[in-house]
Structure 1
């Protein structure tokens, strides 16, 4: 085990931990798939932690900090990509990030206090809810695919972010955005999911413009990842496994770009439907599995 003395400020942060080469390869493969999903449908980091904790030498307290570290690089790629396309409302992003970063520190502290079982149950529940909502949204959009008036009305408003806030006072609008950022930051750091997994369903419920919602979700990912990594370094029960996180990031970040290119060539709705169904079934199965293991342990 080796560490950099220059990182002493962040506590006992290790850069090399014992982990098999096969596990690192699997982590890179999972990062590849997650990156493509993020590029295609905006959400993909949700699959990483559940896959990693199935490995024999990776538990949840090791997987979550490594994933949050890898999201730093994916967040940078998303921030630059969506910023270049001018799909980020910087007013929204500033408000979300201002509250998400400190709340991610809180999430990292909570992660160190809560049992692995509770973290897993929380994570699988978040996956189930977000995936179920995504599926409902897809089915609803198909039902109303001939109705284009909502999109045009949203785009013509001065505040193009959320029509439901357009008639609210400026301070209430700011408060809502800060509250959303607070929840997204804490939940993401606690469960090891990327910011878009938590933020996108909330913005869609509030009927944000979908392009701006995707841009804000990518923008918030970077500060959440940085803050939670710092928090995990200070508060974590275990050292951050930078080898594991680096293996994920090595494929996660570049394949976000590839996923965006693939999305331009494939029908989006069937892909989103398939992914949502898979995640719903997987999260339910994992929830039942964890509860059954707890029941057997009690017996």
Structure 2
């Protein structure tokens, strides 16, 4: 068990540094690394993606708090937007976890690969939506929250790669969009964790120390180190060429996505 815990502490350390350095959601790193670790552990293939997605969302519960608190202190969180989108986020993320429970690991891997390619292309081209509208009302935000929640649940992320472009499109300044997205990531993580626990309670062949689709040794290891290494990544961001590193990371995402795609095919 000690060796297993150390392996997941390494996953958390890498995810924390990259999240702080590049401003990316930890799930994009954590999910493929968990898949690799679960394969090495001999966890049944049918359970691998469900456990990776659920555990990733559970870890975001802990990392999102420190993130949105830091943004709140700088006045960068639009709590009115959070309130408008909250119910849609809760329902969409929970529904997404229920959908994921009915899907095969093969399909979930394919969906995750497609999302990785999307994020990588966005990072390589650095395209941002043109501000051309305003934040919708409660009904519109309920719909937007459901879409962001469902997709986030299916790929195990805090939703920043979707919510930030949406807010930029709605004339929210970039730093405020990032801060507000960090706050939105917390309810995504809560609803996703609850959903993956609930849907995993009736699953068979889960490894020991699982709570539904949450693998507790991985969760503990990731949380222990990612919280400590994320500030290091932030400090490195002020001394390294981040834009160049983002392009390198985008290429790495394409390589990881391609490797996962090969395993699907």
Task: Give the TM-score of the pair, scaled to structure 1.
Answer: 0.75
Say yes or no: does 1:81 pair with 2:70: yes
Say yes or no: does 1:234 pair with 2:194: no
Question: Is the contact between residue 79 and residue 218 of structure 1 (CA under 8 Å) also seen in structure 2?
Answer: yes
Question: Is the contact between residue 65 and residue 229 of structure 1 (CA under 8 Å) also seen in structure 2?
Answer: yes
Rounded Cα–Cα distance in structure 1 between residues aligned with 2:264 and 2:170? 33
CA shift for structure 1 position 193: 2.3
- Secondary structure (helix, strand or coil) at the match of 1:163 reads coil
CA shift for structure 1 position 257: 2.4
Deviations 1:97-120 (A, max 9, x none): 331122111111112111111111
Say yes or no: does 1:50 pair with 2:36: no
Question: Is the contact between residue 107 and residue 189 of structure 1 (CA under 8 Å) also seen in structure 2?
Answer: yes
Say yes or no: does 1:178 pair with 2:142: yes
Deviations 1:24-44 (A, max 9, x none): 322221211111222222213
Rounded Cα–Cα distance in structure 1 between residues aligned with 2:5 and 2:153? 22
Rounded Cα–Cα distance in structure 2 between residues aligned with 1:116 and 1:288? 14
Structure 2 unaligned segments of length 5 or more: list them: 207-211
Task: Give the TM-score of the pair, scaled to structure 2.
Answer: 0.83
Aligned partner of 1:296 in structure 2 is: none
Question: Is the contact between residue 46 and residue 194 of structure 1 (CA under 8 Å) also seen in structure 2?
Answer: no
Structure 1 unaligned segments of length 5 or more: list them: 1-19, 142-149, 151-161, 292-299
Which deviates the most, 122-131 or 195-204? 195-204
Deviations 1:44-96 (A, max 9, x none): 32011111111222422222222211110011111111111222122222223
Rounded Cα–Cα distance in structure 1 between residues aligned with 2:169 and 2:10? 32
Rounded Cα–Cα distance in structure 1 between residues aligned with 2:165 and 2:124? 11
Question: Is the contact between residue 88 and residue 142 of structure 2 (CA under 8 Å) also seen in structure 1?
Answer: yes
Aligned length: 247
Rounded Cα–Cα distance in structure 2 between residues aligned with 1:205 and 1:282? 29
Deviations 1:149-190 (A, max 9, x none): x9xxxxxxxxxxx83114xxx7x4544443332222111112
Aligned partner of 2:131 in structure 1 is: 163
Closer/same/farther in 2, CA of residues 284 and 198 from structure 1, 3 Å limit: farther
Rounded Cα–Cα distance in structure 2 between residues aligned with 1:75 and 1:101? 16
Closer/same/farther in 2, CA of residues 248 and 134 from structure 1, 3 Å limit: same
Question: Is the contact between residue 68 and residue 228 of structure 1 (CA under 8 Å) also seen in structure 2?
Answer: yes
Question: Is the contact between residue 85 and residue 138 of structure 2 (CA under 8 Å) also seen in structure 1?
Answer: no
Largest Rg, 1 or 2 = 1
Q: 2:109 aligns with which of 116, 120, 124?
A: 120
- Secondary structure (helix, strand or coil) at the match of 1:193 reads coil
- Secondary structure (helix, strand or coil) at the match of 1:53 reads helix
Rounded Cα–Cα distance in structure 1 between residues aligned with 2:144 and 2:20? 23
Question: Is the contact between residue 196 and residue 218 of structure 1 (CA under 8 Å) also seen in structure 2?
Answer: yes
| RMSD (Å) for aligned C-alpha atoms | 2.4
Name segments (4+ residues, structure 1) moved above 6 Å: none
Question: Is the contact between residue 8 and residue 218 of structure 2 (CA under 8 Å) also seen in structure 1?
Answer: yes
Deviations 1:234-285 (A, max 9, x none): 1123523222211111112232222222222223211222111211222123
Question: Is the contact between residue 158 and residue 186 of structure 2 (CA under 8 Å) also seen in structure 1?
Answer: no
